[in-house]
A and B are shown apart, each in its own frame.
Chain A
Amino acid sequence: MSYQDKYEMVCGVETHVELATKTKIFCACTTEFGGEQNTHVCPVCLGLPGALPVLNREVVNLAIKAGLALNCEIAEFTKFDRKNYFYPDLSKNYQTSQYDLPICKNGRLEIEINGESKSIGITRAHMEEDAGKLVHSGESITTSDSSYVDYNRAGVPLLEIVSEPDMRTVDEVIAYLQELVQILDYAGVSDCKMEQGSVRFDVNVSLRPLGSRELGTRTEIKNLNSFAAVRRCLEYETERQAKVLNKGEKVIQETRTWDDSQGVTLSLRTKEEAHDYRYFPEADLVPLKIDPEWVERIRATLPELPAAKRERLKELGLSGYEAGVLTSSKAMADYFDRVMQNYADAKVVANWIMGDLSALLKANNRSFEDCPIKPYQLADMLKLIKKGDISGKIAKTVLEEIYTGGKDPAVIVKEKGLVQIRDQDALEKIIAEVLAQNPKSVADYQGGKEKAFGFLVGQVMKATQGKANPELVNKILKEKLQIAY
């Protein structure tokens, strides 16, 4: 029995996304991923005595941009606060964050579930700094003889986006997260590199009896770093809570952690043990006034967002499915648009991008971000097909050649002699030879076995190394077979 038979899930998500700035939020250190431990640091992000933070304006720009992309109100007056707690990955033992006056609030985004649209509220989004990273000699900080701290991440700018508890199924949660990450990716607010931990999720989840309007007691599961982890975690946690409720017990309000290897959530601390973060205004920074002109300046830089792009692609004649796949990453959608600038057949372009090109990239572990085939090259290749210079089959070879060698398709076709044979006389001669060599198939065909025709076409293509124009081959072959008949 699933929890859904008796209960409804209520879920909200806090998403921490790394903002795509070159330098950290309060100092000039690089935000580049990796690097020798403690090399991307300075007195400010190390929290040395006397060092003071200076706000990176680009962080504010990106936060405004994210807010606009998520239909938020942008605060005219915002400030930073200190969130106080002791942990060795925090160089000052407080995190500079925003408490009561976040930069963005009251936004929303639309998700599509079973063909129906649903609006998910965004409570707020605020700017804050990331912490450093602990490296333990053993399993964890409590079981290790020693631990090291790498402060390269300390001070990397984050945006924490808090949703309303508007999601009722795991699918809705995943749809929300996918849409959110896509929007942030499109807006250029974040690289959204999940594998580098640039997006992390905390989920708040509770159950309530079906039909109830009251909220149940929730648990918070922190630090999930992939959609898959969120899905598995929620599937586990909802069942766990359902079991507790079914036994007539109460769910304990607490913070839990997801153990991915065991596939379970574990209690981290209860409400009684919850931190008192003692938020208060950060006096080392001045409050920020954001005038409407600033917001408008940022709005002008906002690109087309996924929902709008999907609509546009559908208007070009693509199916909802195709539009969805093509817009699933900004890089892929941008690639599509660029090919379309030179070859405006949406259906054909979509097929090639979603089919052969995607497969090729996947096989080579690459993405559209660093696709070696330039959009104009793909467009040029499609033009060669349309002109009849190459067949679709030959085109697959050409595509691989462009991928590996980088040469333009016309050059490849010429160098490799891949131009289609459309010379009627030459083809007639080759076909005559094929028929002469395959009397049995000719007889079969004439005896009513349609399959034999395909075999004969294949033999012609083989004899021409695939370069024969397929329509011409069909036409001549049919004529010859009829004559022979």
Chain B
Amino acid sequence: MQLYTLTVHQLSELMAQKKISSVELINAYLERSSKIEHKIQAFITHTKEEALAQARIVDAKRMQGEELSPLAGIPVAINDNICTAGLKTTCASNILNSYIPPADATVVTRLKNAGSILIGKTNMDEFGMGSSTEYSAFTPTKNPYALEAVPGGSSGGSAAAVAAGEAAFALGSDTAGDIRQPAAFCGVLGLKPTYGYVPRTGLISYASSLDQIGPLARDITDLALILNAILGHDPKDSTSATVDVPDFKAGLVNDVKGLRIGLPKEYMEAGVEGKVAAKIQEAVKQLEDMGAICVEVSLPHTEYAVAAHYIISCAEASSNLARYDGVRYGLRVEAEDVLSMFMQTRSQGFGDEVKRRVLLGTHVLSSASYDEYYTQALKVRTLNKQDFDQVWTQVDCLLTPASLTTAFKIGEKAQDALAMYLSNFCTIPVNLAGLPALTLPFGLADGMPVGLQLIARHFDEQTLLRVGYSLEQNTDQTSLKPDLDRE
């Protein structure tokens, strides 16, 4: 039995039965990392000593018979754009490469309260801007299924860490599909909750109206356990919802009979790779065999979503990233006067992709182009939302590919900003509308994982988990493991 391949609930069970301790578990993960991390490069910071110290505390509590959360003693990786008190949080950027936050993000506090063990901070595209983790200022992360392929992004480090057995689960952030697309590329599950369901407090903003923290894990039950821990209102985040949080674990059902599942034709017509399309057809058949009713639906404004998203996210980013100026924290490049210091610091501190998006965002908000770009983008956003509102009158959830392709090669799109952005074609409309969406693996195509995406109504994460759980219980396609010990 290899501990690093088990799910959170399996590990939790083993610890509850005192068959393993948290210290043993952490050591198993650290050992796994020592063997494969040089190949994957999923982490920016490892927290070995602190993780073991925390594991000892959890073990002691368990010995004393304290009632513990199912997440207690479990190693978690956290995206490096989520603040951890006293621990470097870089956003994979040179401008924050030594920034140490004074406080934990709310989600980190919630996981710590549940007893989860922070095992490290994971790599990403700088400030979440990218879809391959190649735009990390430090190093690209590799796909555990093929080291020459990207893990997706921006939360590629988190996806790779979970896939490769370097963390039992992870928290990423999703602005354009940044949890779901890498989860799909790396053969793990990723969930972007409804906008506002998880507090953003402590998440370093890229695009405030689109960003959302969510989990990456190895099965549906694990996702349910994590959602139970991280969802819910936070008074420190004005955009955080005051909706009640159900017990997702208790609500898991293996039953899709009569459930209406929409298949948006615009997604299938957008140039899906043949092998991916074939897997989607297979999933549709599987769901129909299980009693779901799959129908074709239309989201007519899908083709404009990417452009609108690009404009809105860059606009918000240009403002959110303005604070990195060398005055208060982070990188400072000394210069003649304050304006030169701003410019030098930002020129040297930001990577090319960040600069590109800040420039674009500044441009679309300038008075000369505001109406032509920003206002138009907001209109598309409204139309996009109306598209979804319309399909919810017909179906309970949507099934789409998580990505039009499987993981592409490192270097393939890094120089082509548009091609890179288009790799989030399937995930972007969800962020624009603030909806919840789940991606889960559905087998391999040419040795690379294929991901399904399920989309549901606002705050209806339960339907996502229901469909995912039913697929998981009735097929062997959702649980994948890379072979990293070859070569």
Query: Which A residues form the contact surface with B (CB < 8 A)?
Result: 43, 46-55, 82, 84, 86, 88, 91-94, 141-142, 147, 149, 276, 278-280, 283-286
> Considering the chains assembled together, what is the distance between the CA atoms of A94 and B367 in angstroms?
16
User: Are the C-beta atoms of A49 and B96 separated by less than 8 Å?
Assistant: yes
Q: How far is the CA of A51 from the CA of B201 in the complex (A)?
A: 6
19 A-B contacts, Cβ less than 8 Å apart? A48-B102, A48-B328, A49-B99, A50-B89, A82-B319, A86-B339, A86-B342, A88-B338, A93-B323, A147-B338, A149-B327, A276-B367, A278-B319, A278-B362, A278-B370, A280-B319, A280-B374, A283-B207, A286-B238
The residue of chain B having its C-beta at the shortest distance from the C-beta of A147 within the complex is B338
Scoring B residues 81 to 125 as 1 if CB is less than 8 Å from chain A, else 0, what string do you get? Answer: 011000001010000100101110100000000000000000000
19 further A-B pairs in the complex, CB-CB below 8 A; given A49-B91, A50-B201: A43-B102, A46-B328, A49-B329, A50-B101, A52-B237, A53-B238, A54-B238, A55-B238, A82-B319, A84-B319, A84-B322, A88-B325, A92-B322, A149-B327, A278-B318, A284-B208, A284-B239, A285-B238, A286-B239
A48-B102, A50-B105, A52-B201 known; A283-B322 Cβ under 8 A: no
What's the nearest-Cβ distance from chain A to residue B111, in Å?
A: 16
CB-based contact B200/A49 at 8 Å: no
CB-nearest residue of chain B relative to A282?
A: B208
Judge if B205 is at the interface, Cβ distance under 8 Å: yes
- Given A48-B329, A52-B237, A283-B316, residue A43 in contact with residue B103 (CB < 8 A): yes
Q: Which of A46, A51, A84, A147 has the most CB of B within 10 A?
A: A51
Inter-chain contacts of B236 with A (CB < 8 A): 52, 54
A384, B105: Cα distance in complex, Å = 68
> CB distance A86 to B322 under 8 Å?
yes
- What is the CA–CA distance of A46 and B329 in the complex, to the nearest angstrom? 10
List B176-204 residues whose CB lies under 8 Å from chain A: 200-204
For the complex formed, measure the closest distance between the CB of B305 and the CB atoms of chain A, giving whole angstroms: 18
Take A43-B103, A88-B327, A92-B323 as given contacts and tell me if A50 and B238 are in contact as well, using a CB distance cutoff of 8 Å. no
Q: Is the interface of A mostly helix, strand, loop or mixed?
A: loop
Task: Specify which chain B residues have a CB less than 8 angstroms from the CB of A88 in the assembled complex.
Answer: 325, 327, 338
Contact residue among A50, A142, A278 (Cβ-Cβ distance under 8 Å from B202): A50
Once the chains bind, are B325 and A52 in contact (CB under 8 Å)?
no
Is the Cβ of A50 less than 8 Å from the Cβ of B83?
yes
What is the CB-to-nearest-CB distance from A277 to chain B, in angstroms, rounded to a whole number?
9
Report the minimal beta-carbon distance from B307 to chain A, rounded to whole angstroms: 17
Q: Please, which residues of chain B bring their CB within 8 A of the CB of A55? A: 238
Name B's A-contacting residues (CB within 8 A): 82-83, 89, 91, 96, 99, 101-103, 105, 200-205, 207-209, 235-239, 315-316, 318-319, 322-323, 325, 327-329, 337-339, 342, 362, 365-367, 370, 374
Residues of B within 8 A of A47 (CB): 323, 328
Q: Which residues of A contact B318 (CB under 8 A)?
A: 84, 278
The CA of A43 and the CA of B204, in the complex, are separated in Å by 12
Interface pair A50/B322, CB less than 8 Å apart: no
Beta-carbon contact of A94 and B319 below 8 Å: yes
* Shortest distance between the CB of A151 and any CB in chain B (Å): 8
Contacts of A84 in B (CB 8 A): 318-319, 322, 365
Instruction: Check A50 against B338 for contact (C-beta < 8 Å).
Output: no
Smallest beta-carbon distance A127→chain B, Å: 14
Cα(A264)–Cα(B94), bound, Å: 46
Bound together, the chains give a CA A142 to CA B341 distance in angstroms of 13
Check A49 against B237 for contact (C-beta < 8 Å).
no
Residues of B near A49 (CB, < 8 A) are: 83, 89, 91, 96, 99, 101, 204-205, 323, 329
Smallest CB gap from A143: residue in B: B337
Min Cβ gap B199→A in Å is 9
Query: Which residues in A have their C-beta under 8 angstroms from that of B316?
Result: 280, 283
CA distance A147 to B365 in the complex (A): 31
Docked CA distance A44–B105 (Å):
13
Q: How far is the CB of B85 from chain A (nearest CB, A)?
A: 11
Per the bound structure, the CA–CA distance linking A47 and B367 in Å amounts to 26
- Going nearest first, the 5 A-B pairs with the smallest beta carbon separation are A93-B322, A283-B208, A278-B365, A283-B209, A50-B202
Q: Which residues of A contact B82 (CB under 8 A)?
A: 50
Q: How far is the CA of A435 from the CA of B251 in the complex (A)?
A: 111
Given the complex, which residues of A lie within 8 Å of B325, measured CB to CB? 86, 88, 93
Quick one: closest A residue to B208, CB to CB?
A283
| Cβ–Cβ < 8 Å partners of B102 in chain A | 43, 48
With A46-B328, A49-B323, A149-B327 as given contacts, are A276 and B238 in contact (CB-CB < 8 Å)? no
Q: How far is the CA of A279 from the CA of B102 in the complex (A)?
A: 30
Whole-angstrom distance between the alpha carbons of A50 and B78 in the complex? 14
What is the CA–CA distance of A84 and B325 in the complex, to the nearest angstrom?
14
Q: How far is the CA of A283 from the CA of B362 in the complex (A)?
A: 16
Residues on B with beta carbons closer than 8 Å to the beta carbon of A149: 327-328
A92 to chain B: closest residue by CB: B323
Please state if B204 and A52 are interface contacts (CB–CB under 8 Å): no
B475 to chain A, nearest CB (A): 39
A280 near B315 with CB under 8 A, answer yes
Task: Pick from B89, B328, B339: contact of A91, CB below 8 A.
Answer: B328
Q: What is the chain B residue whose CB lies nearest that of A286?
A: B238
> What A residues does B103 contact at CB under 8 A?
43
Query: In the assembled complex, how far is the CB of residue A132 from the closest CB belonging to chain B, in whole angstroms?
Result: 10
Min CB distance B239 to A, Å, is 6
Instruction: Report the Cα distance A59→B170, complex, angstroms.
Output: 39
What residues of chain B lie closer than 8 Å to A141, measured between beta carbons? 337-338
The listed residue (A279, A280, A284) touching B205 by CB distance below 8 A is A284
Bound-complex Cα distance A279 to B364 (A): 11
Partner of B323, one of A91, A279, A280: A91
Q: Once bound together, how far apart are the Cα atoms of A361 and B193, in whole Å? A: 64
A174 CA / B342 CA spacing, docked (Å) = 40
Query: Closest A-chain residue to B362, C-beta based?
Result: A278
Q: How far is the CA of A84 from the CA of B208 in the complex (A)?
A: 15
Shortest distance between the CB of B330 and any CB in chain A (Å) = 8
Docked CA distance A206–B42 (Å)? 63
Contacts of B83 in A (CB 8 A): 49-50
A54 touches which of B208, B235, B315, B367 (Cβ 8 Å):
B235
Q: Which residues of B contact A86 (CB under 8 A)?
A: 322, 325, 339, 342
For A280, give its contact among B329, B338, B365 (CB under 8 Å). Answer: B365
How far apart are A28's CB and chain B's nearest CB, in angstroms?
10
CA distance A43 to B329 in the complex (A): 12
Query: CB-CB < 8 A to B315: which residues of A?
Result: 280
How many angstroms from the CA of A384 to the CA of B207 in the assembled complex?
72
Q: Which residues does chain A contribute within 8 Å of B96, judged by CB atoms?
A: 49
Q: B366 to chain A: which residues have CB within 8 Å?
A: 276, 278
Chain A: minimal CB distance from B9 (Å): 30
Question: Considering only CB atoms, which chain B residue lies closest to A54 in the complex?
Answer: B238
Chain A residues in 8 Å Cβ range of B370: 278
A residues in contact with B203, CB < 8 Å: 50
Most-contacted residue by chain A among B205, B238, B329, B362 (CB, 10 A): B238
CA distance A284 to B240 in the complex (A): 10
Q: Which residues of A contact B374 (CB under 8 A)?
A: 280
- Which residues from A are CB-within-8-Å of B362? 278
Name the A residues within 8 Å of B322 (CB-CB). 84, 86, 92-94
Residue of B nearest to A87 (CB): B338
A43, A91, A147, A285 pick with most chain B CB within 10 angstroms? A43
Residues of A with C-beta under 8 A to B205: 49-50, 284
Chain B residues near A53 (CB, 8 Å)?
Answer: 238
Residues of A with C-beta under 8 A to B99: 49
Alpha-carbon gap, A226 to B262, bound state (A)? 66
CA distance A50 to B83 in the complex (A): 7
Find chain A residues with CB under 8 A from B367 CB.
276, 278
Which residues of B are found within 8 Å of A48, using beta-carbon distances? 101-102, 328-329
User: Max chain A CB contacts within 10 Å: which of B91, B96, B338, B367?
Assistant: B338
Q: Which residues of B contact A279 (CB under 8 A)?
A: 365
Q: How far is the CB of A393 from chain B (nearest CB, A)?
A: 63
- Decide if A142 touches B337 in the complex (CB within 8 Å): yes
For the complex formed, measure the closest distance between the CB of B314 and the CB atoms of chain A, giving whole angstroms.
Answer: 12
Residue of A nearest to B339 (CB): A86
- Min CB gap B91→A, angstroms: 8
A93 to B103 alpha-carbon distance, docked (Å): 22
